[in-house]
């Protein structure tokens, strides 16, 4: 899974890193929209911000004249517009009669800023690229949708991992723009504690490699990337599956060696620093009460990044009262769960999504 992989192995099951998973052959349309003179939250600007995205299906306007069937699907950290085309997601959800039936819905899968083929540090600016964050991502998505695609309303936003966090930001920034939210694999609180520590370790592993040269390297800083990828591997791992699939020392070590070889080949160090650090000021908690859209929020009990004890001991009592329209589910560990990457294993939570789509359908 190359860079997109960071959405699949690195920060989400291996939320990113390995080789692109097999992708189903759906009739996607590849698109690009360029925002001129985009201003970032830091005050920095870029003459052209290029945003790539896939679409499936056709937009439909309701009797009120607004688009009523658009669904925005948001990938995880280091992923891209192809990440959620993985068969374990797309084959379960996009077919006839399924929750995101492409003969009924208009699906939009963007490359976020800094990822996939959208504008990113490795295009040439390196560490001089604007220091983007989730707010910038959401605002650029909104501009792309409204000005580039003329989509003025969303039936649903479903986001995984980073996309999960972005879903909460969307709900606060544009509360009337969507009918419903489906954030999978995150918490709507500041990225702190072990979560921030692991991200910081990955970033600093690269910055402390002399070969990084403050981002002006001509060959990738391999040792720094190895340290970063090692941390990301642990973050995305599922203990039960790891033990089952690699039950001997030799098998476990071979998996690590193979993983590193794939990951380092497909990742740019500066890009990684930027997209891992984009969550640095994420904290929707103070304004959760402003979200008006109903939400289906699903985490998995074997998620290293978002462990269930945080919900049990800290988060549930603190944030759920602010979100009366939110249903929160922690999936129990089974042979089918995949740690953080459970968010892409649609068969596990599909029934909950079906019920939610029916419940939030406009009468």
Q: Please identify which of the residues 112, 136, 179, 303 carries the catalytic annotation.
A: 303
203 pLDDT exceeds 50?
Answer: yes
Report DSSP state, residue 303.
-
pLDDT band at 324 (very low <50, low <70, confident <90, very high): very high
pLDDT value at position 313?
A: 85
Contact 134, 190 (CB under 8 A): no
pLDDT value at position 15?
A: 36
Q: What percent of the chain has pLDDT over 70?
A: 93
pLDDT band at 9 (very low <50, low <70, confident <90, very high): very low
Q: What percent of the chain has pLDDT over 90?
A: 89
* Mean pLDDT score, 244-261: 96
23 class by beta-carbon count within 10 Å (0-12 exposed, 13-18 middle, 19+ buried): middle
Active site residue 303: yes
Q: Please identify which of the residues 161, 205, 237, 279 carries the catalytic annotation.
A: 161
The more confidently predicted of residues 109 and 19 is 109
The CA-based dihedral angle spanning residues 10, 158, 163, 238, taken in that order and rounded to the nearest 10 degrees: -30
Active site residue 343: no
21 pLDDT exceeds 60?
Answer: no
* Mean pLDDT score, 312-330: 92
pLDDT band at 316 (very low <50, low <70, confident <90, very high): confident
* Mean pLDDT score, 229-238: 92
Residue 256 CA to residue 6 CA, distance in Å, equals 16
Q: List Cβ neighbours of 116 (8 Å cut-off, separation of 6 or more).
A: 3, 4, 52, 79, 80, 81, 82
* Mean pLDDT score, 19-28: 66
Task: Give, in order, the Cα–Cα distances in Å from 166 to each of 18, 173, 282.
Answer: 24, 10, 9
By three-state DSSP, how is residue 114 classified? coil
16 pLDDT exceeds 80?
Answer: no
Q: Please state at what angle helix 162-173 crosses helix 134-143, rounded to 10 degrees.
A: 70
pLDDT value at position 30?
A: 97
| Per-position b or e across 38-60, b if 16+ CB within 10 A of its CB | bebeeeeebeebbbbbbbbbebe
Which domains are present in the chain? 23-193+289-359 (3.40.50.1820), 195-277 (1.10.1740.110)
Q: For 133-146, write each residue's pLDDT tens digit.
A: 999 999 999 999 99
pLDDT band at 315 (very low <50, low <70, confident <90, very high): confident
pLDDT band at 328 (very low <50, low <70, confident <90, very high): very high
Active site residue 340: yes
17 pLDDT exceeds 70?
Answer: no
11 pLDDT exceeds 70?
Answer: no
1 pLDDT exceeds 80?
Answer: no
2 pLDDT exceeds 90?
Answer: no
């Amino acid at each position: 899974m190359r860079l997109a992989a960071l959405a699949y192995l690195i920060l989400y099951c291996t939320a990113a890193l390995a080789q692109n998973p097999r992708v189903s052959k759906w009739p996607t349309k590849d698109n690009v929209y360029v925002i001129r003179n985009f201003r970032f939250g830091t005050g920095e600007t870029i003459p052209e911000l290029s945003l790539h995205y896939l679409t499936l299906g056709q937009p439909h306007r309701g009797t009120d004249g607004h688009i009523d069937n658009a669904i925005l699907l948001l990938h995880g950290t280091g992923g891209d517009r192809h990440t959620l085309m993985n068969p374990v997601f797309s084959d379960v959800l996009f077919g006839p009669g399924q929750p995101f039936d492409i003969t009924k819905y208009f699906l939009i899968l963007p490359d976020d800023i800094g990822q996939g083929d959208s504008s990113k540090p490795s295009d040439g600016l390196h560490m001089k690229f604007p220091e983007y964050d989730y707010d910038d991502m959401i605002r650029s998505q909104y501009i792309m949708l409204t000005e580039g695609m003329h989509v003025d309303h969303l039936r649903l936003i479903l986001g995984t991992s980073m996309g999960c966090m972005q879903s909460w930001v969307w709900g606060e920034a544009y509360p009337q723009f969507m009918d419903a939210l489906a954030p999978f694999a995150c918490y709507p609180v500041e990225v702190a504690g072990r979560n921030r520590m692991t991200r910081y370790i990955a970033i600093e592993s690269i910055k402390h490699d002399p070969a990084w040269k403050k981002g002006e390297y001509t060959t990738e800083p391999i040792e720094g990337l190895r340290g970063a990828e090692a941390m990301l591997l642990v973050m995305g791992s599922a203990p039960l599956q790891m033990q089952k699939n690699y039950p001997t020392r030799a098998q476990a070590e071979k998996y690590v060696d193979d993983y590193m070889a794939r990951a380092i080949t497909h990742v740019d160090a500066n890009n990684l620093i930027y997209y891992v650090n984009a969550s640095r000021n994420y904290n929707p908690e103070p304004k959760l009460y402003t979200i008006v859209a109903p939400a289906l929020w699903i985490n998995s009990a074997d998620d290293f990044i978002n462990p269930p004890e945080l919900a049990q001991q800290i988060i549930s009592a603190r944030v759920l009262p602010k979100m009366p329209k939110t249903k929160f589910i922690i999936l129990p560990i089974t042979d089918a769960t995949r740690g953080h990457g459970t968010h892409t294993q649609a068969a596990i939570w599909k029934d909950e999504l079906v019920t939610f789509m029916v419940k939030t359908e406009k009468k």
